[in-house]
Amino acid sequence: MTGALLKVVAQLVLLLMLAPLVSGFIKTLKARLQMRRGPRLLQSYSNIHKLLRKGMVIPETASWLFSATPYVVFVATLLAGLMAPMVVADTPIGLFGGVLAVVYLLGLGRFFVALAGLDAGSPFGGLGSSREMTVSALAEPTLMLAVFTVAIGAGSTSLAEIARVAINQQWRFLAPSQALAFAALFLVLIAETGRIPVDNPATHLELTMIHEAMILEYSGPYLALIEWAASIKQLVLMTLMINVFWPFGLSATWSPAGVLAAFGWLALKLLLLSCAVVLVETANAKMRLFRVPELMAVAFTLGALALISTFLF
Amino acid sequence: MTVLFTAGLIAYLAGAVAGIAGVRAPRRARIGAFSFALVGALLEIVAAIGALAQGGVTAWTLPSGVPLFSWAIRVNALSAYFNLTLGILAAAVSIYSFGYVRAMEGRRNIGVLGCFYNILLLSLTLVFVAGNAFFFLVAWEVMALAAWALVSFEHEKARTRRAGMLFLIMSHAGSGLLLVGFLILARASGSLDFATFHHAASALPAWQQGAVFLLFFLGFGVKAGVVPLHVWLPEAHPVSPSNISALMSGIVIKTGIYGMALVFFDFFDAPPAWAGILVLGAGVLSALLGVLYALMEHDLKRLLAYHSIENIGIILIGFGAAMVFRALGHPAMAGVALIAGLYHTLNHAIFKSLLFLGAGSVHYSTGTRNMEEMGGLIRPMPVTALCFLIGAVAISGLPPLNGFVSEWLTYQALLAGFGSTQTLTRVIFPIAGALLALTAALAAACFVKAFGISFLALPRSENAAQAHEAPLSMRLGMGFLAAGCVALGLGATWFLPVFDPITEQLIGVRASSALTAANGFAISAGAPHAGTVSTVGIAAMLVLLSALPALFWLVWGRAGRRATGPTWDCGLPGLTADNEYTATGFSKPFRMIFSALYRPRREIQAEYEVSPYYPTAIRFESEIEPSFEKRMYDPLRGWLYRMAGRMRSVQAGSIHAYLAYIFVALLALLLFGVRG
């Protein structure tokens, strides 16, 4: 019991501490690639710390839902993160839910943020909510196709089971079905985490924004919780991708040496994936909103091909 | 048990009498009719629970007075389950009706409403327990007529009358198909008894099996609202009073689902595999089109009606998968898929009725069903808003409520389907799963719109600004169903054994122990290591993890001040409700992305005096094409009219001609009889 509790706490701390670092790294690297100095690597931590200590302004028109949403989205995203394997294949609370529960818990958070966007009565919030729900609805079938491809390969929706199967077949990511599913998931990652070319995380008060528009009315600790949750969501999706498709170094047990090595591998793999995200962000311009369905159609086709190649190979 | 069951029926009858007796005394009619309905519903719940606990089949015959035909009643696990669903809804809706109908006193004929309400409940109960085809069809027709009377209750509006007529015509077309299907089965088995129909359809030659399957699928499909037979549903469900809408969407369309379960799993041993794939395909199509049309609706009750089509689709995905698994010889997997479908039947009944009752409360206090005239209702109507939010989370399939559990089971059934066969057909299961995911995501978008536009932000009209909370009885009715959403979500593993007698009766397996893991703490996907989920665990963790943000607040946040201020308005002088995002605006991206389906048309007229940049008035009109009505039903109706026109020459109106017809018919029958 205490062992299980320790594992939960360890993964909780890892999620909370690593997520701002990944976001910060992406921001810094992107700035460097664009010949800017950019914020320092640890700026995200300072931002969260600053926001948590500040006061906040609640819109007059907002209801209790506005205040409840930061808690719901923060807690739901954290719980999704606890279900995902990070350094050890055996997730601490794998019994509570597998990959479907992760997808739906992230959906729960999004549902409440979208409602809160409408709550303040500002047209920006409604605009953001409408677009966020559109983009996520278009990304959802691809996400589920990739999930199904992986789950069919492992014969299970349990993430611990999927990771275990993946560890035993280290080179499986070269198989056509896995490579195609990975490509499809990468497009979903870009759409779900609000990155260029789907959304621009660096803008405020611009008509192209999606996620930032929804949370425009948030300030202080509530904003800290929501932004923290967004970076945790990004970390969870990235970890899922790399641990399911590239299980190198993922530890099978909780032995200290294994965990330490696995942590190193995790950091390295996150670094590589973050570089890929930054390259895509830097090399592309933001798409018009109504071009996003085409990108998602490409992702869906990749997912469907992945599935069909499971059948062929 | 038999006694309780019969007592429930008598209570409904008494309610009908109390209603009709009180035509001139509305208060007495209201209290009498709905009290008896509540008593009847509670008795039926107890009887159904007893039947489920006892298992097996209880059959008896009511004295009929009609020779040849008997009023045979047969209560088995399947009918008890549907009666339980009916009882739960009827109890909640009856409590709600005390307050809801009160506002109609003096304006409408409450006696008639109460009478038909009880007759509807009575006939629904009998549909679920009818033991032979004749009795089933009688109950089915009484149900259709009672439902028609209730749909047409506000008959002074032309639209209501049209909706009622459409419902009646479609319903009877469906009944006709059922009649033929029953006749084919009766000829094969030599009796009208359902007991003799058991697996009788599978003994027929292949083409007759196909015909029987199609007749029943279409006949019950009309009642269930399967695309493309759904056109009556979004017309008929919204126009009736909201307590009736709740029953219509909650349980009346489920009679179609009951019929399908009866035919596909009891009358058929294992239907042909193509039949299963057809049902699965129809399910996916209904789910997707239902939610896509729902997204475009701004009439709250029409939106909910389209979501009924969506959820019937999700139920059929489970049923279709179960049929394919049976055809392929995987009873255990069929059990999981069937449970997914049946569980979603109950779940949808509960959250959809809850949402309709919520819409009724909103209509009760604002007088409108148009979402663009609501807004900000969460403040004057906190209880209604909370109940509606719970229903919205549940119908969107989000954890930890009941919709999530049945959708999770459906996904697991589809995933298992991939391993069920080696042929290319197995690809349809994951594709169906992906489209189910799209449906669920679109449903979430639709309920963000429905709740966000109706209940949040500023009131969009004078009526919404002066809204008030619904009376206690209405809140109680909604609260009861909201508690049901939570209980069926968190308590899923404890509820699963209810399905054991049903799956044993229909496909000969008991699945609940394979579906529970960790001593009932988690639901398992059926096979070992195939995956688990624990709604209780998720709920507990959500509560426990909330301690974390609280801790942050204790450490850092206490110094910060919490102030209220105006919403950011870009420097304009004050934000009004006109600045808010509308429901039309919210669904605009979907309208553009799926324009091939919607074929939207819009018209903008601007009036100006000096320059077009300074319009004095703008009129905006936007509509989507009702494709099924225009491309399928309009040609069909035209053909029917033409045929009817030709038939007219036969109906000359002359008594001599009719005598000649009778003579010819008699002669032909005699010749037929002599030859035979």
pLDDT digits (tens, 9 = 90+) for B650-674: 887 888 989 999 999 999 999 988 8
Helix (H, G, I), strand (E, B) or coil at A52: helix
Q: Mean pLDDT of all residues in chain A?
A: 90
Q: For residue B156, how many C-alpha atoms fall within 13 Å in the half-sphere facing its CB?
A: 3
Per-residue confidence (pLDDT) for residue A93, from 0 to 100: 87
Residue scoring higher pLDDT (B452 or B418):
B452
Residues 529-548 of chain B with CB under 8 A from chain A are 529-534, 537-538, 541-542, 545-546, 548
Element (H, E) at B562: strand B562-565
**What is the radius of gyration, based on Cα positions, of chain A?**
19
- Neighboring chain A residues of B532 at a CB cutoff of 8 Å: 94-98, 158
Distance CA A43, CA A24 (A): 7
Q: Mean pLDDT of all residues in chain B?
A: 92
Average pLDDT of the segment spanning A283-308: 90
Sheet strands (E) in B396-451:
none
User: Could you tell me which residues come within 8 angstroms of residue B612 by beta carbon, excluding any fewer than 6 positions away?
Assistant: B606
Average pLDDT of the segment spanning B468-486: 96
Alpha carbon separation from B117 to A224, A262, B304, B477, B519 (Å, rounded): 53, 65, 21, 16, 43
Residues 280-309 of chain A with CB under 8 A from chain B are 289-290, 293, 300, 303-304, 307-308
Per-residue confidence (pLDDT) for residue B468, from 0 to 100: 93
The residues pairing with B517 across neighbouring beta strands, listed in sequence order, are: B522
Average pLDDT of the segment spanning B88-98: 97
Distance CA B44, CA B9 (A): 8
Q: Using the beta-carbon criterion (under 8 Å), do A95 and B517 form an inter-chain contact? A: yes
Ranking A206-220, B28-42, B147-161, B438-452 by mean pLDDT, the lowest is A206-220
Identify the residue among A45, A69, A71, A100 best suited for mutation to test binding to B, counting B beta carbons within 10 A and taking the highest. Answer: A100
- B338 CA: distance to closest CA in chain A (Å): 20
Helix (H, G, I), strand (E, B) or coil at B607: strand
Burial class (CB in 10 A: 0-12, 13-18, 19+), B547: exposed
Per-residue confidence (pLDDT) for residue B276, from 0 to 100: 93
Contact assessment for residue B330 and residue B216, using Cβ atoms and an 8 Å cutoff: no
Residues 384-403 of chain B with CB under 8 A from chain A are 389, 393, 396-399
Average pLDDT of the segment spanning B112-128: 96
Distance CA A143, CA A139 (A): 6
Which residue on chain A is closest to B422 by alpha carbon? A311
Pick A141's closest partner by Cβ from B426, B434, B546: B434
Helix (H, G, I), strand (E, B) or coil at B617: strand
Give the percent of chain B with pLDDT over 70.
Answer: 99
**Secondary structure of B631-674 in the HEC alphabet?**
HHHHHHHHHHHHHHHHHCCCCCCCHHHHHHHHHHHHHHHHHHHH
Domain count, chain A: 1
Q: Using the beta-carbon criterion (under 8 Å), do A96 and B577 form an inter-chain contact? A: no
Q: Using the beta-carbon criterion (under 8 Å), do B532 and A98 form an inter-chain contact? A: yes
Residue A135 has pLDDT above 90, yes or no: yes
Question: Following DSSP, what letter does each residue of A186-249 receive, concatenated?
Answer: HHHHHHHTT-TTT--TT-SS-TT-SHHHHTTT--HHHHHHHHHHHHHHHHHHHHHHHHHH--TT
Q: Which of A126, A279, A72, A295 is nearest to B538 (CA)?
A: A72
Neighbours of A39 (CB within 10 A): 14
Per-residue confidence (pLDDT) for residue B64, from 0 to 100: 66
Per-residue confidence (pLDDT) for residue B257, from 0 to 100: 97
Look up tokens 């491309």; give the residue: B631
Distance CA A193, CA B437 (A): 19
Which residue on chain B is closest to A145 by alpha carbon? B434
Per-residue confidence (pLDDT) for residue A246, from 0 to 100: 84
Per-residue confidence (pLDDT) for residue B367, from 0 to 100: 92
Tokens (6 digits) for B452:
């966000």
Q: Which of B587, B576, B579, B575 is nearest to B623 (CA)?
A: B587
pLDDT digits (tens, 9 = 90+) for B565-622: 888 887 877 788 888 899 999 999 999 999 999 998 888 888 888 888 888 888 888 8
Residue scoring higher pLDDT (A173 or B42):
B42
Distance CA B528, CA B341 (A): 22
Distance CA A201, CA B641 (A): 60
Residue A92 has pLDDT above 90, yes or no: no
Q: For residue A80, how many C-alpha atoms fall within 13 Å in the half-sphere facing its CB?
A: 32
Look up tokens 């009908």; give the residue: B16
- A87 CA: distance to closest CA in chain B (Å): 20
Alpha carbon separation from B144 to B16, B124, B223, B326 (Å, rounded): 16, 10, 9, 32
Helix (H, G, I), strand (E, B) or coil at B525: coil
One-letter amino acid at B557 equals G
Distance CA B171, CA B219 (A): 8
Confidence at B676, pLDDT banded by 50, 70, 90: low
pLDDT digits (tens, 9 = 90+) for A30-75: 999 999 998 999 999 999 999 999 999 999 889 999 999 999 999 9
Helix (H, G, I), strand (E, B) or coil at B75: strand
Look up tokens 């369309």; give the residue: B253
The residues pairing with A232 across neighbouring beta strands, listed in sequence order, are: none
Distance CA B540, CA B550 (A): 16
pLDDT digits (tens, 9 = 90+) for B532-573: 999 999 999 999 999 999 999 888 877 778 899 888 887 877
Is the N-terminal amide bond of B400 cis, ω within 30° of 0?
Answer: yes
Neighbours of B637 (CB within 10 A): 12
Rounded to two decimals, the ipTM of the complex is 0.96
Contact assessment for residue A124 and residue B568, using Cβ atoms and an 8 Å cutoff: yes
Distance CA B556, CA B211 (A): 71
pLDDT digits (tens, 9 = 90+) for A204-223: 666 668 888 899 999 999 99
Sheet strands (E) in chain A:
56-59
The residues pairing with B601 across neighbouring beta strands, listed in sequence order, are: B623
Confidence at B240, pLDDT banded by 50, 70, 90: very high
Distance CA B218, CA B61 (A): 30
Distance CA A109, CA A192 (A): 12
pLDDT digits (tens, 9 = 90+) for B247-296: 999 999 999 999 999 999 999 988 888 999 999 999 999 999 999 999 99
Is the N-terminal amide bond of B228 cis, ω within 30° of 0?
Answer: yes
Q: Using the beta-carbon criterion (under 8 Å), do A119 and B396 form an inter-chain contact? A: no
Q: Where are the alpha helices (H) located in B22-105, listed in sequence order? A: 26-54, 77-102
Residues 117-146 of chain A with CB under 8 A from chain B are 117-127, 129-131, 133-134, 136-138, 140-145
Q: Using the beta-carbon criterion (under 8 Å), do B565 and A58 form an inter-chain contact? A: yes
Which residue on chain A is closest to B534 by alpha carbon? A96
Q: Which of A107, A24, A81 is nearest to A278 (CA)?
A: A24
Identify the residue among A65, A130, A232, A305 best suited for mutation to test binding to B, counting B beta carbons within 10 A and taking the highest. Answer: A130
Interface contacts A/B by beta carbons within 8 Å:
278
Residue scoring higher pLDDT (A79 or B416):
A79
Which residue on chain B is closest to A291 by alpha carbon? B593
Average pLDDT of the segment spanning B316-320: 96
User: Could you tell me which residues come within 8 angstroms of residue B222 by beta carbon, excluding any fewer than 6 positions away?
Assistant: B170, B171, B173, B174, B177, B229, B232, B256
User: Could you tell me which residues come within 8 angstroms of residue B609 by beta carbon, excluding any fewer than 6 positions away?
Assistant: B616
Confidence at A172, pLDDT banded by 50, 70, 90: confident
Helix (H, G, I), strand (E, B) or coil at B254: helix
Q: Which of B195, B176, B177, B197 is nearest to B186 (CA)?
A: B197
Average pLDDT of the segment spanning B61-77: 79
Contact assessment for residue A158 and residue A94, using Cβ atoms and an 8 Å cutoff: yes
Q: Using the beta-carbon criterion (under 8 Å), do B556 and A52 form an inter-chain contact? A: yes
Distance CA A304, CA A181 (A): 9
Q: Using the beta-carbon criterion (under 8 Å), do B549 and A71 form an inter-chain contact? A: yes
Per-residue confidence (pLDDT) for residue B164, from 0 to 100: 94
Residues 460-519 of chain B with CB under 8 A from chain A are 517-518
Per-residue confidence (pLDDT) for residue A207, from 0 to 100: 67
Pick A60's closest partner by Cβ from B398, B521, B565: B565
- B581 CA: distance to closest CA in chain A (Å): 5
Identify the residue among B545, B554, B572 best suited for mutation to test binding to A, counting A beta carbons within 10 A and taking the highest. Answer: B545
Per-residue confidence (pLDDT) for residue B230, from 0 to 100: 93
Per-residue confidence (pLDDT) for residue B373, from 0 to 100: 93
Interchain CB contact of A155 with B (< 8 Å)? yes
Give the structural domain span for A290: 2-312
Residues 197-216 of chain B with CB under 8 A from chain A are none
Q: Using the beta-carbon criterion (under 8 Å), do B557 and A52 form an inter-chain contact? A: yes
Interchain CB contact of B107 with A (< 8 Å)? no
